[in-house]
Amino acid sequence: MAVYAIGDLQGCYDDFRRLLDKCQFNPDKDRLWLAGDLISRGPKSLDTLRYVVSLDKVVTSVLGNHDLHMLAVDAGMKTTRDPDLINILEAPDRRQLMNWLRHRPLLHHDPELRYTLVHAGIYPQWNLTQAQAYAAELHEILRADNYRDFFEHMYGDQPDRWSEDLQGWDRLRFICNSFSRMRFCSHDGRLYLEAKGPPGTQPEGFHPWYQVNDRQTREQKIIFGHWSTLGRQSANNIYALDTGCIWGGELTALRIDTAEPQYISVKCPAHREGKLK
């Protein structure tokens, strides 16, 4: 059995299928880990989501910020002009697809493989046990019948620092931002969510989350996506897999069931104009 972790798909269905072919992926025996942002921006979000759902028994996917935004649109809390997302809203199987997406976790940890999968990262002041607990806290809210209430309060950059005393929507919003939007953080735990560029473009006093002093998960192997301007990285137990497929970069898989992880990539056409972000 092979296990492949793949970075942000963002609706790039054809590139996704080419990558699976290159990996010689066999759904009868292999497994897929997907780092979130399955949809949005690309040309075939509906096809991508349908195909991933069809592989449900062999797929582990975490929620990304674009997935969460799609769920907020579906819940009636936001509107969209993105034709790719509108295709999902108008699909006859919309409810099945959105229900499947809403039930995805924020974090997945495999104690046998000893890898942890998230979309953006793990807040530096949380250890793995805490991160699992906080991810489960939000996951429970998203699976509840009144999940729409969360999407009404999801958007915003505050609070920007964790405290166990945080309660209500502030607490859930911070948990959500940490797992789905985080890139830069200060050594004392303050998030900076505005910067989307590569390391070196952030304001003074902020650092890539995985370089923060005394990061509690530095001994954990963490796979994440979200950060296309960071590109492929594999150092100090972090594995960054968003290689900018949507912007004409690559779509990247990491085989993680081998003694040493193995990268496999395919070149992608630019489905969106502009720079990596």
Residues of the chain with pLDDT under 70: 272-277
Q: What is the pLDDT of residue 270?
A: 81
Could you report the per-residue pLDDT of 60-94, keeping only the tens digit for each?
999 999 999 999 999 999 999 999 999 999 999 99
Quote the CA–CA distance of 168 and 113 in Å, as a whole number.
Answer: 34
Q: What is the pLDDT of residue 273?
A: 60
Q: What is the pLDDT of residue 277?
A: 46
The reply to whether 225 falls in a domain is yes
pTM of the complete model: 0.95
The reply to whether 213 falls in a domain is no
Quote the CA–CA distance of 35 and 118 in Å, as a whole number.
Answer: 6
Check which CATH number belongs to the domain holding 84 and give it.
Answer: 3.60.21.10
The reply to whether 274 falls in a domain is no
Neighbours of 53 (CB within 10 A): 17
The reply to whether 195 falls in a domain is no
The reply to whether 164 falls in a domain is yes
Q: Domain range for residue 259? A: 3-183+218-267
Quote the CA–CA distance of 209 and 104 in Å, as a whole number.
Answer: 23
Question: Cα dist. 8→65, 85, 125, 249 in Å?
Answer: 11, 16, 25, 12
The reply to whether 152 falls in a domain is yes
Tally of domains within the chain: 1
Sign (positive/negative) of CA torsion 137, 138, 142, 148?
positive
Q: What is the pLDDT of residue 276?
A: 47
Q: What is the pLDDT of residue 257?
A: 97
The reply to whether 276 falls in a domain is no
